[in-house]
A and B are shown apart, each in its own frame.
Chain A
Amino acid sequence: MIPEQLRQELKRRVADAVTPREAAVDVMKELQRHCGWLTDEAVAEAAVLLGISTLQVEELATFYEMIYRRPVGRNVIHVCDSVSCWAMGGETLLAHLEQHMGIATGQTTPDGAFTLLPCSCLGNCGNGPTLMIGETIHHRVTPEDARAILARAMDQGAP
Chain B
Amino acid sequence: MNHPNEIKLIIDDIPVEVPEGTSVLEAALSVDITIPHFCWHPALGKAGACRVCAVKVLEGSPRGVQMSCMLPAQDGMVVSTTDPEAVALRKGVIEWLMINHPHDCPVCDEGGECQLQDFTIAGGHGLRRYDGRKRTYTNQYLGEYIEHEMNRCIQCYRCARFYQEYAGATDFGVMGRGNMIYFGRQGDGPLESPFSGNLVDICPTGVFTDKTARFRARYWDYDLAPSVCPHCSLGCNITPAARYRELLKVIARRNDSVNGWFICDRGRFSNGAVNAPERPRQALADNRPVSCDEAMDALLERLTEFLELNGPASLAIVGSPRMSLEGNIMAARLRELLGAGTLSYFDDRLQAERTMEAASLLTTANAASLADVRKADLVAIMECDLLAEAPMMALAVRQAWRGGARVYVVGCDVPFDSAQGTKTLAERSRSPASPTHPGPDSVPPDRPDAPRTRPGAGCPPPLPAPGGARGWSGSRPGVCSRTRSHPATPRPVRGSATPRGQRCPHC
**A interface vs B, CB < 8 Å?**
18-21, 44-45, 47-48, 51-56, 58-59, 62-63, 65, 120
Contact = CB atoms under 8 A, between A and B. Distances in A.
A48 B435 contact: yes
A39 to B, nearest CB: 13
Interface string B438-449: 110011010010
Interface residues of B, number: 22
6 nearest A-B residue pairs (beta carbon): A53-B170, A51-B442, A51-B438, A44-B435, A62-B175, A21-B445
A92 to B, nearest CB: 23
Nearest to A40: B186
B442 A55 contact: no
Interface string B132-175: 00000000000000000000000000000000100000111111
Do most interface residues of chain B lie in helix, strand or loop, or is the interface mixed?
loop
Nearest to B422: A53
A59 B173 contact: yes
Contact of B439 (A51, A53, A54, A59): A51
Contacts of A21: 445
Contacts of A45: 435
Nearest to A120: B178
Contact of A54 (B164, B176, B178, B436): B436
B425 to A, nearest CB: 17
A18 B170 contact: no
Contacts of B182: 62
B427 to A, nearest CB: 10
B443 A20 contact: yes
A19 B443 contact: yes
A59 B178 CA distance: 13
Given A18-B448, A44-B435, A56 B176 contact: no
Most chain B CB within 10 A, of A48, A55, A56, A63, is at: A55
B15 to A, nearest CB: 44
B283 to A, nearest CB: 52
Given A20-B443, A44-B436, A53-B171, 13 more contacts: A19-B448, A20-B445, A47-B436, A51-B439, A51-B442, A51-B443, A52-B438, A53-B170, A53-B438, A55-B170, A55-B436, A56-B164, A65-B177
18 contacts: A19-B448, A20-B443, A20-B445, A44-B436, A53-B436, A53-B438, A54-B186, A54-B435, A54-B436, A55-B170, A55-B171, A55-B186, A55-B436, A56-B173, A58-B186, A59-B174, A62-B175, A120-B178
A62 B174 CA distance: 9
A55 B173 contact: yes
Nearest to A57: B186
Contact of B175 (A51, A52, A59, A65): A59
Contacts of A48: 435
B415 to A, nearest CB: 16
B185 interface: yes
A53 B445 contact: no
Contacts of A20: 442-443, 445
Contacts of A54: 186, 435-436
A45 B435 CA distance: 7
A31 B186 CA distance: 19
